[in-house]
Amino acid sequence: MSFLAKNDPEIYALFEQELERQSYNLEMIASENFASNAVIEAMGSILTNKYAEGYPSKRYYGGCEIVDKIEEIAIERAKKLFNCQYVNVQPNSGSQANQAVYQALLKPYDKILGMDLSHGGHLTHGAKVSSSGKNYHSFSYGVELNGRINYDKVREIAKIVRPQVIVCGASAYPREIDFKAFRSIADEVGAYLFADIAHIAGLVAAGEHQDPFPHAHVVTTTTHKTLRGPRGGIIMTNDEELSKKINSAIFPGIQGGPLEHVIAAKAVGFGENLKSEWKIYAKQVKTNAKILADVLSEKGFDIVSGGTDNHLILLSFLNREFSGKDADHALENAGITVNKNTVPGETRSPFVTSGVRIGSAALTSRGMKDKEFTFIAEKIAEVLENINDISVQQKVRKEVRELSSKFIIYDRPTY
């Protein structure tokens, strides 16, 4: 019997329920993935006991000789993975990584130009409800009705705004990001280029997406999503002076003691990303997303931008009577987990939306390939075409469970 089951059966029972949910549903939220047993083991390790304020060889606590080595391994692996010179592996999340970048590069109320949240950007790219939109004077660019970024329009906005930082990267953009084009715009207006590759980092690491270096001055990413590591963030740069400012912004700027157990898990995850098998995985992630787009398009659904270059697709229901929220609920009832999302030309509120975002990374981690994703796309279409039919949702849920049972990712409890 596990220690958790013995000491807290109430929480243990809920863990069991979550394991059941993850095992027998289809997790297709684009920001989610399944960490390996090794990553999870590192996160739950005795390193959680160690306080280590500061950086390797420059700590404010004793007894850090072991965690120094672990953090240095994480740094070196990340540098090799993303071909950069300086990495801070201490951010507790992607949002905190972004916050530290702003603190390092900007003064309060300086100008930032980022992708509009409703067009596929992220809260931390200048949304007014975020600290990035409250502490700085934020402006935004978006996508055209065809779902793509118009770089000439971004340039026009940048020339008017004259921001100190331009943010590129997105949380719901299915097309490849042209970092070189963004750098050209940044240089023209004298701005830093800050690339947030949280969603596409696993593809970048495998050479399946354009590399933000050498174009970006600073790059951040989360370490889960397409990287399959633990939940957390990192900051990267090739500029030594910027790296010093970034380190100070993280500690003592916005964080105290780093989570050394999570940093160890980051190191383990980066080690997995550096293996040759990772390129095969990343290529399959893109293939699977394209299958979703192609099959659903053939079924008559509107795919934002007409397809995908990465790990996600956006379905638009602007020409349908039901909303993104309706689709989200219907698919959830059928055992397929996605998330409602705004789309270009949005007519509904952000709490209702006219679309859903669907990702391929998590199910690819379970070993699902072309055949399975064709089947899944057909099941998504069947549910959406009969969105108010509970019997169809129940039928699909049984079929989803049957499929999922053949691809159990955790053969033992990992908690």
**Residue 81 region, left (φ>0) first, then alpha (ψ -120 to 50), else beta?**
alpha
| Per annotation, catalytic residue among 220, 221, 222, 364 | 222
Alpha-carbon distances, residue 222 vs 105, 232, 274, 367, 370 (angstroms): 20, 5, 17, 23, 27
C-beta separation of 163 from 136 below 8 A: no
| Per annotation, catalytic residue among 50, 77, 225, 340 | 225
Integer Cα distance of 74 and 69 in angstroms? 9
Residue type, 296: L
Catalytic annotation present for 51 = yes
32 C-beta neighbours (distance < 10 Å), count: 16
The residue to which tokens 């067009």 are assigned: 119
The residue to which tokens 């992220």 are assigned: 122
Residue type, 320: R
Residue 329 structure tokens: 């609920």
Catalytic annotation present for 281 = no
| Per annotation, catalytic residue among 231, 245, 320, 401 | 231
Residue 403 structure tokens: 């499929």
Catalytic annotation present for 196 = yes
| Helix (H/G/I), strand (E/B), else coil: 341 | strand
Integer Cα distance of 86 and 88 in angstroms? 7
Catalytic annotation present for 222 = yes
The DSSP output letter for 117 is: G
Phi, psi of 202 (to 5 degrees): -65, -30
* Secondary structure element (H or E) that encloses residue 47, with its range: none
DSSP line for 248-281: HIIIIII--S--HHHHHHHHHHHHHHTSTHHHHH
Catalytic annotation present for 69 = no
Q: Smallest Cα–Cα separation from 31: which of 198, 205, 281, 272? A: 198
Catalytic annotation present for 225 = yes
Integer Cα distance of 207 and 56 in angstroms? 30
Question: Which class for 265: exposed (0-12), middle (13-18), buried (19 or more C-beta within 10 A)?
Answer: buried
Which positions are annotated as active-site residues?
51, 53, 196, 222, 225, 231
